Structure 1
Amino acid sequence: MNPFDPLREQLASAAAAFGAGLVDDVEQALKTDVEIFPVCHHSPASALAMVRRLREKRPKVIYLELCEDLRPVLEELRNCRLPVALQAFASDIDGFPAEWAPLSVIAPITESSAEYQAIAYALDTPGVEIVLVDRSVDHVFQWEPRAGAPADVGIEIGDLRPGFAALEEHLLHHGKVRHWSEWWDQYVEQPLSGADHDTYRQVMVLIGSLFRRLKPEGNEVDEDRERYMWTRMREHLATTGTDPAECLYVCGAFHAASPVMGEHLDISPRTSTTWLYGLIPSSHSAIEEQFGLAPGSVSIAAATWRKAVKRTGLTPYTLGGKATRTATRTGPPPSTPGVTEDRLSGFLTQPPSLDGFDEAELLGWCVEIVRLARRNGYLASTADAIAVFETSILLAGMRGRKRPTPYDFQDAAVTCIEKDAVPGRRDVRRLCEILLGGDKIGQVGYDSLPPLARDVLDRLRPLGLDLEKRTIQRALIDLDAHPELESCSHLLWILRRLLPGDAVRPIMGSRRLGERSHQESWDLAIARNQRSIIELGYEGVTIEQVLEQRLRRACWDEKATAATALDAVEDSILYLGSRRCTDELGVRAVELLAGERTVDEAPDVVRRIRRLLAHYRAAEPELPAWVKSFVTTGYAHYCTLLPTAFVEQETSVRQVGAMLAFLFTMEGLALSLGCDRAQLELAVQQSHPESPAKVALLWTARFQLGLLSMAELREKVGELLGNPLVVPSVPQYISGFVQALESAPALAPFVVEVLSRAFGQLPDDVLLPWLPKLITTLRDQAPELVPMLVREAGRTFPARLADVDSFTPPWLARATGKAVALPSSGPVGRLLAVHPETGAAVAEVLGCEAAVTIAGASGEVAELLASHPETGEAVAGVLIAVN
């Protein structure tokens, strides 16, 4: 006896039991009193078999594997252009983790799907009822694991794909195909497209049983779903008294091979979450991406469906308007559920009878792909069309096919036409998808839109555009000539704030505080972004309500900052015009600022509060209470955090500069509201930074407080430039001085002086190595302040080339004692003669030394007047006129 005989017998017995189990599943599915119709989603073969069976059996009740609470939405399919998706949406959830919000369930529907044929038949045939029996959308999320559950769930009827990766890899390898969609098309779709009903049912259940038994994970959730559906069907049969023989149960082939048929499930109650239901546009590419299908597979399925309908002469069921259709028997009497004869043996042992080679169709594809390629920049010719034709036939033969499939044609086109580069936006593979049907995009009709979406279309109607077209349309609005279009403009700006960037795009015009557009131009793609507008309708009744809710949600989010709240305040002023809402958001901004323990958002806070202050000062007689509170709170808050921010490495020089900008530029307002300047002086004196940029910032802060004179500041800079050990850090010091311009714009001449002295004093071997570092530092840390330096340099240095040789910079004129003539007549001369001390004080405030002699021909006042003669004349004239 061979020692391996027992093992051989054991394995043979296991294989026999496995094969017998598959046959048992098929036999069990055929014995049920309610006829099971197994389907695969977006399968033309399933759709064709469904049409034939509906016309033969004429069922009175159709049970459909789809979330039971989506049933009212089915009626709205009449107003849509497929593909669309049924959607359930919940933003305010109760009974689920808060981080899951918002929750969404999407079930796409295409014309070439069996479930759409069943829906159309049921809705348009008098006396026929359709019952959705799958879990409610609430139960879908109840059954999700609490850790890491998805917030957006796609429901696909008849999701049929092997869960065993090794099996799929084996099938693809031996089938000589690239992906699952191509394998399914060749070995299931095409052979079953003309099969009779019994053969179709047995093959689909067999495939579902095989995939079910080879699934590596447990089937507990799937079995509970199946118990749920059978429970709902039994409840409906018991309530209505319907004869099971007159019913049809449409489900995925995976569920048709279930071992728990007829078992009962105790269904838990739904949570208190409020669900909103509707339709959203879908597309072939969206369905492919959502369910992991190969690109172009749904478009190819749609093309196959159209060709099969034309070839077979079947009339598919469609929904349109409110017309009804009576069911007529076009074939033999329906077969009763039960065990039929074996059709699997013949199907599995004999080669399928596929369609013959359609040479005209392939020739048309080849000519059309060359035309599309030329239009998209490829140098394609008639020779390429011939090459694609022959290569398609060659590939089909290598893969054991009698005729080239769209996948063979696609591979041949890529091989023969696409070279080493793609000249345009679309590659050849994408062009093939367009040729074979394209990425068809559905649309929801006006009557099926939620109230918000209809309100948007109604309010934009005065523009005179057909916003249901998918083309981009240009809207021209002259607000001076047509003030009645102001409401349209306002709505467009709100849509711009809420929708994706390409939905509503302004070409001319702007919406900012203190501005008003006289003319506007818009590019509108409303229909292309219909889904986004529909989903806004799940959040509120009007677009303004949605915006207000989002602003409040952003401000009260756990990650909200003071900058976030100030941004919401600005949007409230621009788009809502509600003082109540604006004040509430402003109060929230004060609370967030007081609670912050870092200064990460300081630059944004300074920029936004400055803008809001300018708006209120120009538009209202008095600042709102929350603005005053924000200034006083911010003054105390930043004074408290300033010493720590100066020494923390995590706090950048830009953030410290923004803090100083807030403290110094709003100091006057803060002091008038009761703040104490001693708090700022104490905070600066307690600051002891180590990084060069922050040291420079501290020097400028001390100068602004009067704790450091301009002469001492110049002396410190001179020490920096004269110390070889410190020279490599000079760019960082300069970055700090530049950041100080945010709080002290009058220091611009001093910063220009520092840069000029560095370029003039340092030797090339020192200057050239840190010059790139200086440029990158200024670009990264102070890009918006560099233009201020450029303008100041333009005022300081001569504008003409001829004046360069005789030019002496002001700081060199002071150092060498070179005389600068003071005006002896005119307003400036008279003013200086009468008030010499005032002139010295003004010079010091503007960055010059206080110790000057007005009677002499040199000094800081002379330097200041020489640099800015027009300003001096203007100021002097004003002062004399006042006196």
Structure 2
Amino acid sequence: MSLPDRFAALRTQLTEAATAFTDGSNGLASILAGMVDDVDRALTEPLEILPVCHHSPASGLAMVRRLRQRPPKVIYLELCEDLGPLLPELANCELPVALQAFASELVDFPARWGPLSVVAPITEASAEYQAIAYAMTTPGVTVVPVDRSADHIFQWAPPEHDPETDPDPAAATSPGTGLHGDAVGVEIGELRPRFADLEAHLLHHGRVRHWSEWWDQYVEQPLAGADYATYRQVMLLVGSLFRRLAPERPDRLARDEDRERFMWTRIRHHLAESGVDRSECLYVCGAFHAVSPVTGFGVAAADDFEITPSTGTGWRYGLIPSSHSAIEAQFGLAGGSVSIAAANWRKELDRSRLAPFRLAKKAAKGGRRRPVAPTDPADTPAADRLSDFLAAPPELDPLDEAELRQWCVEIVRLARRNGYLASTADAIAVFETSILLAGLRNRARPTPYDFQDAAVTCIEKDAVPGRRDVARLCEILLGGDRIGTVGYDALPPLARDVHDRLAPLGLELTRRTVQRALLDLSAQPDLRACSDLLWRLHHLLPTGTVRPVMGDRGLGQHSIQESWDLALGKQQRALIELGHQGVTVEQVLEQRLRKAAWEPAATAAQALTAVIDAIRLLDSPRFADELGARAVELLAAERTVADAPQVLAQIRALLAYYRAHEPTLPSWCETFIKTGYAHYCTLLPTAFADDSTSLRQVAAMLGFLCTLEDVALSVGCDRTQLELAVRQAAPQAPARIALWWGAQVHLGMWPLVELRDWCDSLLASPLTVPAVPAYISGLVQALEPAPELAPFVVEVISKAFGRLPDPVLLPWLPALIRTLRAEAAELVPGLVRQAGRVFPPTLPELDAWQPPWSAPAATEPADAAAAAEPPSVATEPVATLLAAHPAASAALADLLRSGR
């Protein structure tokens, strides 16, 4: 039989059937004939093509059979070419894991795309892993990734591309959950209908719920025991069907064809450079790409695709843990499908006695199987295996009652442990229902999907008593959500450094459970370095990865005992991606703080936060001074006071720290106060009258100017500037007017006696009574710049509670509480303490208690001589003592002069 006629009989049969079904229409006939031509073209290619499907046990078994029969010397793999150096590190990992390319500093890409992340998950059942494991464990064999690089994936994205909502056609974007995060996932061997109506038609007539179940029933099971030649031809036919029935999307089709031309160009270049015989090579790619009609298809094609150079983006590479659920979420598979595929893989290995390929770390686990190299005399390019496969009825697997019975017993046991009222009767019902459902779906042997449906029907009645439903329990029974682990040797340098430095804790940090670390730093001072590292990791890693249970790390504070919950093994991906950003944790932390202070939208408050973090976590005075100088620049350039409350709280904390731990204030701190004094004095009159500036922000400005006045005056500021700013203010709202009064009293511009009389007049006038709550809110805010007004504010609030009518007081109370909680929470404790000093401590004393502000005025002295009489004799010993020992007075005077 000549090569062009190998499928002549099949082509004729399909054409006649299409003509009979479509009343002579040529549309279906041309599609079917074209599918046969696609298979013929792929089989004729001198470089052997092995079509695969992503994470398919049938593909993995076919790969093992091919490698056992005729071991190749070069394997061309559909995988990002820049991920090739990571393949040897798979030996240090526990599958599933994902190869990752990561970039945080983008060049020639839109900034909104960052950070960029590309992952390629690997499972043991995948044909790709079998090829990699074979190449890594067989001398003289090479794996050559030929797919476009991570940089080219984003180069080919359209300018309006959004990695979260418009993924690349050859990739998929996760929904943001799972171990892969918001990464673009390269799906090696994509094989799924792109025509929604075709998929819906297959699901309906296949009597299945989703695509994963259809694929398992009609492709996985028939091909699991098929010989290698039959597998190739069937997979090529399926790939051609999905390709020819894909919807018309020219942009997506063009990118697919460019990708295929890219891979064939890389293959031809490698063949020319290495000189290897193409008969000793194998090309592993998705069945969709194996039947490509592009002009550059094949090793003999003369069309070389022009590959653009990479951009200036710096890519980092590593491995991250993956899981079955993460793969399912990333690539749109049904829940539990990857776990079921893994269970089928193990079952088929036992049935066929094939020995899979494993890297060195797992080689011992496969020792019980002997390598089997089944003979396949018909495995030649001219053999037509499709006709027999398509004409033969499906082989019905006999019912394995022992396996099904074991499943039923185990699911009832799991259901009981998770709160279900399951019994032996439920196990029997699940057994019989599984057989019934399989029969309704034309299956003699119940599949895991039939068993899962039966278990949900018979056990899960009307509610889920625990955290797991029955469907999830079935997934756990059939293999569970297996989560991979990246071994120590495959970790980036930063992650290995973290493990080494935390070794004194005596914990197994690779475990996927949350572990408790107890640090007694007084008894074991050598653990201080571990404590410092944990606080830095707590700042850098996502919430929950490193969580302090007991202990605190504030400015100048160091705990004596600490307790930590560590989930570094469970959140291994976060630590690995942190390793992409630097060599040590300290380097990454310094980069983060510097970036926060120098980003274009940075504010003075952000820079001061970076200063505090640098002092707390890095203990680097030089770096803190650098960040402080940046804070001065940002404050001088600001034109608003939106961050005034944060700036005030941060600079107060820094002043307290420096005064307690340093002999003098750093120069940047003095410059910051001097700049802030002039800055807020300039903006104060406008802020009082501007409705867009909140009362809290104005109070914070006054707090900066009044409470830091001693330092400001010592560095050359003029108090007259503040007095002029307060006089120029013209507030209109009652709350702002009360705040303005408090500032005037603090500066000595208005006597407190007059302010008391004015407040009494407000309470006495029916016209101003409705506005009294607003005035009180302003007086509370005035405690920020003038804390000495606390007794007066307590007095005014007490008078208001005693004199305001209920229609005014009762609606005002909730608003007062909400205002104090939101804008003056830190001022309330001072008011409460002051009220505790004024009001009687016990209830019986309350009846006879008289408020100090309502007591009669003290009587005046009888005469001027009585008022001017000399100090009592009781003070003379004190004066004598101080005169005899002047050192204490002199030291106190020096402190007052120094401003500390």
Query: How does the TM-score come out when normalised to structure 2?
Result: 0.86
1:681-760 matched pairs, under 5 angstroms? 681-722=723-764, 724=766, 727-760=769-802
Query: Does the Cα contact within 8 Å between 1:831 and 1:880 map onto a contact in 2?
Result: no
- In the alignment, the residues of structure 2 paired with residue 397 and residue 584 of structure 1 have an alpha-carbon distance, to the nearest angstrom, of 75
Between 270-279 and 712-721, report the one with greater CA deviation: 712-721
Q: 1:286 aligns with which of 326, 332, 344?
A: 326
Give the 3 Å change call, closer, same or farther, for CA 545–689 of structure 1 in structure 2: same
2:168 paired residue number = none
- In the alignment, the residues of structure 1 paired with residue 275 and residue 95 of structure 2 have an alpha-carbon distance, to the nearest angstrom, of 35
1:383-394 matched pairs, under 5 angstroms? 383-394=425-436
- 1:202 CA drift (Å): 2.3
1:186 counterpart = 2:220: no
Query: Does the Cα contact within 8 Å between 1:56 and 1:334 map onto a contact in 2?
Result: no
1:490 counterpart = 2:503: no
1:244 paired residue number = 278
RMSD between aligned residues? 3.0
| CA offsets 1:419-452 (integer angstroms, 9 cap, x no match) | 5444333333332222221221111222222221
Aligned residue pairs, count: 829
Could you tell me which amino acid in structure 2 is paired with residue 215 of structure 1? Answer: P
1:154 counterpart = 2:185: yes
Q: 1:78 aligns with which of 79, 86, 91?
A: 91
- In the alignment, the residues of structure 2 paired with residue 39 and residue 356 of structure 1 have an alpha-carbon distance, to the nearest angstrom, of 28
1:227 counterpart = 2:261: yes
1:303 paired residue number = 343
- 1:613 CA drift (Å): 0.9
Q: 2:702 aligns with which of 648, 660, 663?
A: 660
- SS of residue in 2 equivalent to 1:106: strand
- 1:727 CA drift (Å): 4.5
- In the alignment, the residues of structure 1 paired with residue 70 and residue 875 of structure 2 have an alpha-carbon distance, to the nearest angstrom, of 98
- 1:80 CA drift (Å): 0.9
- 1:67 CA drift (Å): 1.0
Between 108-117 and 405-414, report the one with greater CA deviation: 405-414
1:338-357 matched pairs, under 5 angstroms? 338-343=381-386, 345-357=387-399
Could you tell me which amino acid in structure 2 is paired with residue 627 of structure 1? Answer: C
- In the alignment, the residues of structure 2 paired with residue 212 and residue 831 of structure 1 have an alpha-carbon distance, to the nearest angstrom, of 108
| CA offsets 1:274-328 (integer angstroms, 9 cap, x no match) | 3222212111122222222222222222122112212222111110159899997
2:358 paired residue number = 318
Q: 1:96 aligns with which of 109, 133, 137?
A: 109
Give the 3 Å change call, closer, same or farther, for CA 753–334 of structure 1 in structure 2: farther
- In the alignment, the residues of structure 2 paired with residue 562 and residue 810 of structure 1 have an alpha-carbon distance, to the nearest angstrom, of 44
- In the alignment, the residues of structure 2 paired with residue 716 and residue 315 of structure 1 have an alpha-carbon distance, to the nearest angstrom, of 95
- 1:109 CA drift (Å): 0.7
1:255 paired residue number = 289
1:868 paired residue number = none
- 1:337 CA drift (Å): 6.0
- In the alignment, the residues of structure 2 paired with residue 722 and residue 743 of structure 1 have an alpha-carbon distance, to the nearest angstrom, of 28
Give the 3 Å change call, closer, same or farther, for CA 882–71 of structure 1 in structure 2: same
- SS of residue in 1 equivalent to 2:571: helix
| CA offsets 1:131-155 (integer angstroms, 9 cap, x no match) | 1111122222221223344383211
Query: Does the Cα contact within 8 Å between 2:57 and 2:220 map onto a contact in 1?
Result: yes
Give the 3 Å change call, closer, same or farther, for CA 833–334 of structure 1 in structure 2: farther
- 1:724 CA drift (Å): 5.0
Query: Does the Cα contact within 8 Å between 1:57 and 1:334 map onto a contact in 2?
Result: no
Identity %: 65
- 1:116 CA drift (Å): 0.3
1:673 counterpart = 2:707: no
1:857 paired residue number = none
- SS of residue in 2 equivalent to 1:86: strand
- SS of residue in 1 equivalent to 2:481: coil
Could you tell me which amino acid in structure 2 is paired with residue 341 of structure 1? Answer: D
Q: 1:443 aligns with which of 470, 485, 488?
A: 485
Between 690-699 and 308-317, report the one with greater CA deviation: 690-699
Could you tell me which amino acid in structure 2 is paired with residue 169 of structure 1? Answer: A
Give the 3 Å change call, closer, same or farther, for CA 752–381 of structure 1 in structure 2: farther
- In the alignment, the residues of structure 1 paired with residue 796 and residue 432 of structure 2 have an alpha-carbon distance, to the nearest angstrom, of 75
Query: Does the Cα contact within 8 Å between 2:396 and 2:443 map onto a contact in 1?
Result: no
- 1:643 CA drift (Å): 2.6
1:849 paired residue number = none
- 1:581 CA drift (Å): 1.2
1:217 counterpart = 2:245: no
Could you tell me which amino acid in structure 2 is paired with residue 449 of structure 1? Answer: L
- SS of residue in 1 equivalent to 2:241: helix
Q: 1:30 aligns with which of 18, 21, 43?
A: 43
Between 527-536 and 714-723, report the one with greater CA deviation: 714-723
- 1:375 CA drift (Å): 2.4
Query: Does the Cα contact within 8 Å between 1:245 and 1:337 map onto a contact in 2?
Result: no
Give the 3 Å change call, closer, same or farther, for CA 183–655 of structure 1 in structure 2: farther
1:203 counterpart = 2:237: no
- In the alignment, the residues of structure 2 paired with residue 244 and residue 409 of structure 1 have an alpha-carbon distance, to the nearest angstrom, of 46
Q: 2:610 aligns with which of 564, 568, 572?
A: 568
Question: Which segments of 5 or more consecutive residues in structure 2 lack a partner in the other structure?
Answer: 1-18, 164-181, 884-900
Could you tell me which amino acid in structure 1 is paired with residue 313 of structure 2? Answer: T
Give the 3 Å change call, closer, same or farther, for CA 95–339 of structure 1 in structure 2: farther
| CA offsets 1:677-699 (integer angstroms, 9 cap, x no match) | 22222222333333443333222
1:134 paired residue number = 147
Query: Does the Cα contact within 8 Å between 2:419 and 2:466 map onto a contact in 1?
Result: yes
Give the 3 Å change call, closer, same or farther, for CA 687–433 of structure 1 in structure 2: farther
- SS of residue in 2 equivalent to 1:622: coil
1:208-607 matched pairs, under 5 angstroms? 208-213=239-244, 214-218=246-250, 219-260=253-294, 261-262=297-298, 263-321=303-361, 330-332=373-375, 338-343=381-386, 345-607=387-649
- 1:479 CA drift (Å): 1.6
| CA offsets 1:518-577 (integer angstroms, 9 cap, x no match) | 122222222222222222222111111111111111111122221111111111112212
1:156-175 matched pairs, under 5 angstroms? 156-175=187-206
2:122 paired residue number = 109
Give the 3 Å change call, closer, same or farther, for CA 56–574 of structure 1 in structure 2: same
Query: Does the Cα contact within 8 Å between 1:509 and 1:517 map onto a contact in 2?
Result: yes
Query: Does the Cα contact within 8 Å between 1:245 and 1:336 map onto a contact in 2?
Result: no
- In the alignment, the residues of structure 1 paired with residue 187 and residue 728 of structure 2 have an alpha-carbon distance, to the nearest angstrom, of 65
- SS of residue in 1 equivalent to 2:635: helix
- 1:710 CA drift (Å): 2.1
1:789 counterpart = 2:831: yes
- In the alignment, the residues of structure 1 paired with residue 316 and residue 390 of structure 2 have an alpha-carbon distance, to the nearest angstrom, of 47
- In the alignment, the residues of structure 1 paired with residue 456 and residue 776 of structure 2 have an alpha-carbon distance, to the nearest angstrom, of 57
Query: Does the Cα contact within 8 Å between 1:88 and 1:278 map onto a contact in 2?
Result: yes
Give the 3 Å change call, closer, same or farther, for CA 748–27 of structure 1 in structure 2: same
Query: Does the Cα contact within 8 Å between 1:27 and 1:339 map onto a contact in 2?
Result: no
1:3 paired residue number = none
Query: Does the Cα contact within 8 Å between 2:75 and 2:281 map onto a contact in 1?
Result: yes
- In the alignment, the residues of structure 2 paired with residue 155 and residue 211 of structure 1 have an alpha-carbon distance, to the nearest angstrom, of 19
- In the alignment, the residues of structure 2 paired with residue 698 and residue 403 of structure 1 have an alpha-carbon distance, to the nearest angstrom, of 85
- In the alignment, the residues of structure 1 paired with residue 879 and residue 699 of structure 2 have an alpha-carbon distance, to the nearest angstrom, of 34
- SS of residue in 2 equivalent to 1:188: helix
Query: How does the TM-score come out when normalised to structure 1?
Result: 0.88
Query: Does the Cα contact within 8 Å between 2:229 and 2:378 map onto a contact in 1?
Result: no
Query: Does the Cα contact within 8 Å between 2:22 and 2:28 map onto a contact in 1?
Result: no
- 1:787 CA drift (Å): 2.5
1:58 counterpart = 2:58: no
- In the alignment, the residues of structure 2 paired with residue 9 and residue 358 of structure 1 have an alpha-carbon distance, to the nearest angstrom, of 42
- 1:820 CA drift (Å): 9.5
Give the 3 Å change call, closer, same or farther, for CA 124–879 of structure 1 in structure 2: farther
| CA offsets 1:770-796 (integer angstroms, 9 cap, x no match) | 322322232233233222222222221
